Chains A and B, each alone.
Chain A
Amino acid sequence: MPVPLRRPKVWIALVCLLPLMRLIFLGIGGGLGANPIEFITHSTGTWTLVGLLVTLSVTPLRQLTGRADLIRYRRMLGLFTFFYACLHFVTYIWLDQFFDPAAIAKDIVKRPFITVGFTAFLLLIPLAVTSTHAMMRRLGRRWQQLHRLIYLIALLGVIHYLWLVKKDLTEPLIYGAVLTLLLVVRLPWGVTLMKMGRSRFVPASAGGRQGGERSAGRAQ
C-alpha cells in the first residue's frame, strides 16, 4: 500500500468528502429531484449536524475505548463540519436567495429558525480560525473555554432543524436525543460511567496501555 493510504487521516478525509461527492454525482446525473436547491440545502445541513455530533463523540469515545490518540482526528472532523456549514450557508445565500441582501437580512431577523442557524454558523467561525496548533498555544487555557462553544452550536443546530420542519419532528428529535446523550456523558457521573464501561468491556491491559499516562496530559 502506498504510504499516504496507510495514514488513517487520509481515509477519514476521504470519508468526510463522500457527502459532497454524492451531491456532485447526483447533480451531474440529474438525480437531485424536482427541487435541487432544496435537496442541496437539506443535504449540506444534515451533514453539518452529523459532523457536529461526530466531532462531539470523539471525547466520549476516547473514554469508552481508552484510545487517547483519537484526539488527533478531532480537528479534522471539526474543520469538515465547518466546511459543510459553509456549503450550507453559501447554498442559502447564493442558490436560495441569490444574494438578495434585503431578503436575507429580513429572513435572519424575522425567521427564528434562520436566526438560530445563522448564529450557529457565526459561532463556528472563531472555532475554525483558532484550530491551528499556533493558536492553541497562543490561547492556552482560553482555547478550551472558547471551544466549549461547540456545545451551544450543536444545540442551536438541532433547534434550527426542529423549527424549520412543518410537522414531522421525528428526525430533528433523533439528532436532539444523540446530542443529549453526548452532552450527558460529559457530566461527572457520565464520565465515571464511561470509565466503568471501559473496564468492563475492554481488557484491562489494553485500556491501561492506551489510555493511562497519555490521557493524564493536556489532551484530557
Chain B
Amino acid sequence: MLIRQPDDILPSEITPPEIYRERRLFMQGMGALAAGAALGAAPEADAGTRLADVRASAIKLDEKRTPYKDVTTYNNFYEFGTGKGDPAENAGSLKTRPWSVAVEGEVRNPRIYDIDTLLKLAPLEERVYRMRCVEGWSMVIPWVGFPLREIIRRAEPTGNAKYVEFVTLNDPRQMPGQRSRVLDWPYVEGLRLDEAMHPLTLLAVGLYGEVLPNQNGAPIRLVVPWKYGFKSAKSIVKIRFVEKPPLTAWMVAAPKEYGFYSNVNPQVDHPRWSQAKERRIGEFFKRDTLMFNGYGAQVAQLYRGMDLQKFF
C-alpha cells in the first residue's frame, strides 16, 4: 500500500532533535525506574505509571492540549454510566490484568494476545490527535500507542476480510453501567479494512506518556481521529476480521442517527443537532468543525466517490 506523506505537518511541528534525544534519555531513565519497580513486583499496569520508551511521533498538532484532568474526568464510556463524570467515578472496578485480546475471523494467523505481549508488539509512540465527540465537544489528546496495522499485518487477513470488528469487554461485575440496558452489550464497533490499515488508526495504551486510566478505555483502545469519538472502541477484548459490515452498538441503538462510517463531517448534521461547530473543552467560543476532523489530507481518498450524506 502506498502511504502518502501527510502534507499538513509543518517542519516547525517536528520536535528538534536535541529535545527529542533529551526526552529519550529521560524516558530511558524513567524506564529504568519502572524496571526497578517491576522487580519489586509493583504492578506496571496502573494508570499514572510512566510508559517506557515512548517515541515522539512525526504526527503532531499545533493546538493546545486538553488538560489531563479534563481528558480523564469528562468523557463517555457507557459501560460505567451515561453521565460524563461516571467513567472516572466508577471505572475503578475494572481489572486490566490479566487481559487478553483475541485476533480472529478471516485471518491466516488467529491469535490470543496477552496484554503484556501486545504492549511489546511494536514501538510505542506519542500521537497528538483531535478528538471530536458526536455531542459537539472536542479535545486535543496526546495518546500513546502503535498503529493498528501492526496487528493486522501479523494476522494476515484472507481475501474475505473486508471489515474489522472491535468488541469491548462484557462483564457487568466490572462494568456497572452494563447492568442497565441502555445499549446492547457488548459494545461493538467496526471499520472497513482500509480504514483499519490507515497509518493514523491507532491502538492506544497510554495518555500523556502514562498508562491509560481505566475510564479512558484501559488497557487497550482504538483511536480513529477522523471519526466521531464513539467509533474508537475502548477496553477491547476481541478484534475480528469479517466479510460483512459489523452491526455496531450505536447502529443497533439508533439506526437513523448513527451510521457505520460516522466520519466527522460539518455538513452532515445529527438528526437532532447541528455538527457545524464544536466546543473545544477549555474554550469559550465555539469553533468550526473541520471536515474529517482536520485529517482530510490523509483520509479523504478513502471515501472518494462516496455520497457522504448517504454513508454517514
Contacts and interface: CB of A to CB of B under 8 A. Distances in A.
Interface string B273-304: 11001010110111000000000000000000
A106 to B, nearest CB: 7
B74 A167 contact: no
Nearest to A166: B135
A112 B182 contact: no
B183 interface: yes
A35 B84 CA distance: 10
A33 B74 contact: yes
A167 B182 contact: yes
Interface in A91-105: 95-98, 103
Contacts of A112: 272
Contacts of B19: none
Interface string A82-95: 00000000000001
B174 interface: no
Nearest to B75: A34
Contacts of A97: 286
B212 to A, nearest CB: 18
Dominant SS among interface residues on chain B: loop
Contacts of A96: 286
Dominant SS among interface residues on chain A: helix
- 6 closest cross-chain pairs (CB), A and B: A34-B74, A34-B70, A168-B82, A34-B281, A168-B182, A167-B182
Given A33-B74, A110-B269, A111-B273, 10 more contacts: A34-B73, A34-B84, A35-B74, A96-B286, A98-B285, A103-B277, A106-B274, A111-B272, A113-B273, A167-B254
Interface of A: 33-35, 37-38, 95-98, 103, 106-107, 110-113, 163-164, 166-168, 170
Interface of B: 69-70, 73-74, 78, 82, 84-85, 134-135, 137, 180, 182-183, 253-254, 269, 272-274, 277, 279, 281-282, 284-286
13 contacts: A34-B73, A34-B74, A34-B281, A34-B282, A35-B84, A37-B284, A38-B137, A95-B284, A106-B274, A111-B272, A113-B273, A167-B82, A168-B82
